[in-house]
Chain A
């Protein structure tokens, strides 16, 4: 019998059929297979953006975002029995929650854990418990400069201060990362891992603030506030020639790293820009400057100053309730005579004076690069009746913010130029391009240099012989104007509630620093600007002189 060959022929057909099917599967697949292949591997996972950092003018980091671990459990893979191994690491209520049955695929158990805690949880290597990388905003200097910096919410969106005002620059939209998905739910990154670990260029905001000056100022502000049991306080330090804010402090302070403090508005309020108060006598040089420029008063006039002066429907009294006798124009400022100022004030024409005050930046929101800036209050010219002009001349009956006052004072100090204040020196976007640069911005000329030097002289004399003697320091030639304002409540001045303030610049000949200290409602007996804010200014000036001599020493 010859061997049968028939059965072997079957193999020819089988192999041919297989080859034909292979061509089909490889080259002409079922559209459903193709669609499945297109969608099943890739998953786009959001990666939280790397929010930009904030630094001071010397490059000290003030705010930055760091990677932290968050944890969640996937109930599909999580066995509640392993919850017991997390006891001590997580709060009891969370442990209880994940010990029972859960729903869904994502149950968050811990957000933004501390690194050590996070590592402990990772080391447990529990099935169904996953780590998630998130960013956490950190403020390395804690409460220092907190009001300027502001804070962010949990998702890195700015909520206050520079964080809010510069959110569009600092905020980095979440990116996407393409991952290969495994069926188990795990994902592995594709491409070079190092691509992701390399720190991308991130945006930044550089402030004009000098952190060391800020430190000195906050230190003495805090000391003064506690010494006088004051309710609120603010200090501003400015370069009078350029308008650059060197320091901005507010009291009470908060720690932006502690989210619980954000619910106390009195703590988070930035008094330096967000609070309007009646400035009192610190306003007098400004009013005097306007009066001189408008020809309402001459510098060689003399005024008879009683203890009180009846003006229309009101009475202006001297702060020390004593008659000061005959005072020259400059002595009115040096001795801070209310009655003398009132006599000048009643000469003013309401509309002109109102316009001048607007030109000086009062009653308007200043164009500083911050949020939460108050505009203060000036009565409209129609309301300037009776005692109002006299009141305004002594800095009562109008509300200004510390920022407005120091900006106006800068014009007095720098030779009459009204410069726009700025706190941001430079802002870069995440491509490294400079999107904003803060520089001196002269808006208008307000005073002639002669008036300025006369006003500066009176302020210098205030330190030597006037109300600012307690601020005098041997370190530098300081020039100041003190202020003691009454606080009105429901239209009436309340006895015992004052705002003590002092504004000073130094060195006298070539002013480099202009500082305003406002102490709101000191409650330990003393309340005059000279005795409350004066010593604080002295300490600040001396502290800053220390810094300067340190700098100079380093240069040598």
Chain B
């Protein structure tokens, strides 16, 4: 058990907050440590972590402006949407700064509370009067002064809570999976099931399971996957529009004007773009051919206007950012932060893959926006909150390294 004892040597700032279970994994804790463990960390230290999302966000605003200035579907005022998006970006950036200055231990302590609260918020969407029904699903919550999708909060809260519980749990992999991970997953997806929000459930499932995997191994989630697949098959079977999407995914040419329309038009957009693209604002697909071109289908629009060059650059940015997250992960010497880094990363990457998979005919469509790029207020702000968490972890790691030095060779 070399690795176990190896890890115990490290400082864990969360340990004091681990719900009255001190000492077992951590015998090195003192409350003073944070007072002198200061590094010269600033936003510049690991700037790629936030500049890449910023580039993507700005690019997104550019694309939204390009789309809406020529009157895509259902857009009336030419620059209303890009300006709104810019405001949300500023809000998100502000949220990132705020998260940056709050010690992680605070969220660690409050994770259970936040999780329960966010589940209740999701549940509130099912109450008529509070929940807003859009296109057959109750995903929006209307609090009078603001409208948002509480699922965004839930995915964030469940990431933190899952990390917390995984680290706190002393159970073996099987028991941990059955008694803890599966339970958190179940309560998280309970209300989205009734909204219904198929994409949200996939996302929550992905986050919960992958966090378990990264902490406790592949075995049980894989076993559960068999069960889960049959569960999803049932879900798909019960809703016609989901079935339609699956059929459209399997063969969009079966019905190119209706169920297969979106997928085909997405592919047409890529084809139109070629290698160098048609030029900003010159795309044809946004002329109502691509429904929701500024949200779900923004990636094909990029493909059309900037070609392979544009899409590869976007993919490269995401990959590079993922690489930076991995570097952070590799630097981390404690379970709690590692799992949290992983959780934050996948909760950004999973929507990315679901979106790209959908528009690239690799997955059934599920209506998930492209992180940072797509138009959409709540999603954008919460993506930036995740970046804030990653930066906070980076700062705390830097503080730690400043005090103890980089021990990892």
Chain A residues with a Cβ under 8 A of chain B:
1-8, 11, 14-15, 18-19, 21-23, 25-27, 29-30, 32-34, 36-37, 40-41, 180, 182-184, 188
Contact = CB atoms under 8 A, between A and B. Distances in A.
Interface residues of B, number: 46
Given A180-B287, A183-B287, A22 B311 contact: yes
Contacts of A8: 326, 329
27 contacts: A1-B7, A2-B3, A2-B6, A4-B213, A11-B322, A15-B315, A15-B319, A18-B353, A19-B312, A21-B362, A22-B303, A22-B312, A23-B312, A25-B270, A25-B271, A25-B303, A26-B270, A26-B273, A26-B274, A26-B303, A26-B308, A33-B267, A34-B271, A36-B268, A41-B284, A180-B287, A183-B287
Given A1-B4, A36-B264, A27 B253 contact: no
A11 B307 CA distance: 23
Interface stretch (B103-111, B134-142, B241-249, B330-338): B330-338
B360 A22 contact: yes
Give the dominant DSSP class at A's interface: helix
B356 interface: yes
B9 to A, nearest CB: 12
A30 B267 contact: yes
A5 B326 CA distance: 9
B289 interface: yes
B349 interface: yes
A13 B193 CA distance: 31
Contacts of B130: none
A192 to B, nearest CB: 15
B51 to A, nearest CB: 19
Interface string B333-364: 00100100010000001000100100010100
Contacts of B274: 26-27
Contacts of B253: 32
A7 B312 CA distance: 23
A33 B271 contact: yes
B80 interface: no
Contact of B268 (A6, A14, A40, A180): A40
Given A7-B342, A26-B271, A27-B274, A36 B311 contact: no
B400 to A, nearest CB: 15
Contacts of A1: 3-4, 6-7, 335
Interface string B222-239: 000000000000000000
Interface string B307-329: 11001100100110010001001
B311 A26 contact: yes
Contacts of B272: 37
Given A2-B3, A8-B326, A37-B268, A26 B307 contact: yes
B36 to A, nearest CB: 27
B332 A29 contact: no
A3 B270 contact: no
A198 B214 CA distance: 69
Contacts of A41: 284, 287
B56 interface: no
B308 A27 contact: yes
A11 B338 CA distance: 16
B360 A182 contact: no
B402 interface: no
Closest 6 CB pairs of A and B: A25-B270, A26-B308, A29-B271, A183-B288, A15-B319, A3-B338
B342 A33 contact: no
Nearest to B286: A182
Which interface residue of B4, B210, B267, B271 has the most chain A CB atoms within 10 A?
A: B271
A3 B311 contact: no
B275 interface: yes
A22 B284 contact: no
Interface string B271-304: 1111100000000100111000000000000010
B333 to A, nearest CB: 8
Given A1-B335, A33-B268, A22 B288 contact: no
B330 A22 contact: no
Which interface residue of A22, A32, A184 has the most chain B CB atoms within 10 A?
A: A22
Contacts of A5: 330
B22 interface: no
Nearest to B333: A3
Given A18-B315, A36-B268, A37-B268, 8 more contacts: A1-B3, A7-B213, A22-B303, A22-B308, A25-B270, A25-B303, A37-B271, A40-B268
B315 A27 contact: no
A544 to B, nearest CB: 63
Contacts of A11: 319, 322, 326, 349
A15 B213 contact: no
A27 B3 CA distance: 48
Nearest to A37: B268
B289 A27 contact: no
Interface string B204-217: 00000010011101
Contacts of A37: 268, 271-272
A365 to B, nearest CB: 58
B256 interface: yes
B11 to A, nearest CB: 15
B252 to A, nearest CB: 9
Interface in B1-30: 3-4, 6-7
B322 A15 contact: yes
A4 B214 contact: yes
Contacts of A29: 267, 270-271
B25 to A, nearest CB: 10
A26 B304 CA distance: 9
A182 B288 CA distance: 6
Contacts of B356: 18
A23 B218 CA distance: 32
Given A22-B360, A25-B360, A26-B274, A7 B214 contact: yes
Given A26-B274, A26-B303, A7 B267 contact: no
A407 B218 CA distance: 109
A23 B274 CA distance: 9
A7 B329 CA distance: 12
Which interface residue of B4, B284, B312 has the most chain A CB atoms within 10 A?
A: B284
A184 B74 CA distance: 11
Nearest to B257: A183
Contacts of B326: 8, 11
A484 B268 CA distance: 83
Interface in B94-153: none
B288 to A, nearest CB: 4
A19 B329 contact: no
Contacts of B362: 21
Contacts of B332: 3
A184 B71 CA distance: 12
Contacts of B284: 41, 180
A349 B319 CA distance: 112
Nearest to A15: B319
Contact of A183 (B267, B289, B308, B349): B289
A108 to B, nearest CB: 26
B111 to A, nearest CB: 20
A327 to B, nearest CB: 91
B268 to A, nearest CB: 5
Which interface residue of A1, A8, A21, A180 has the most chain B CB atoms within 10 A?
A: A1
Given A8-B326, A18-B356, A19-B312, A25 B267 contact: yes
Contacts of A14: 353
B330 A19 contact: no
A498 to B, nearest CB: 74
A26 B4 CA distance: 49
Nearest to B353: A14
Nearest to A29: B271
A21 B253 CA distance: 19
Which interface residue of A7, A180, A184 has the most chain B CB atoms within 10 A?
A: A7
Contacts of A33: 264, 267-268, 271
Nearest to B362: A21
A36 B256 contact: yes
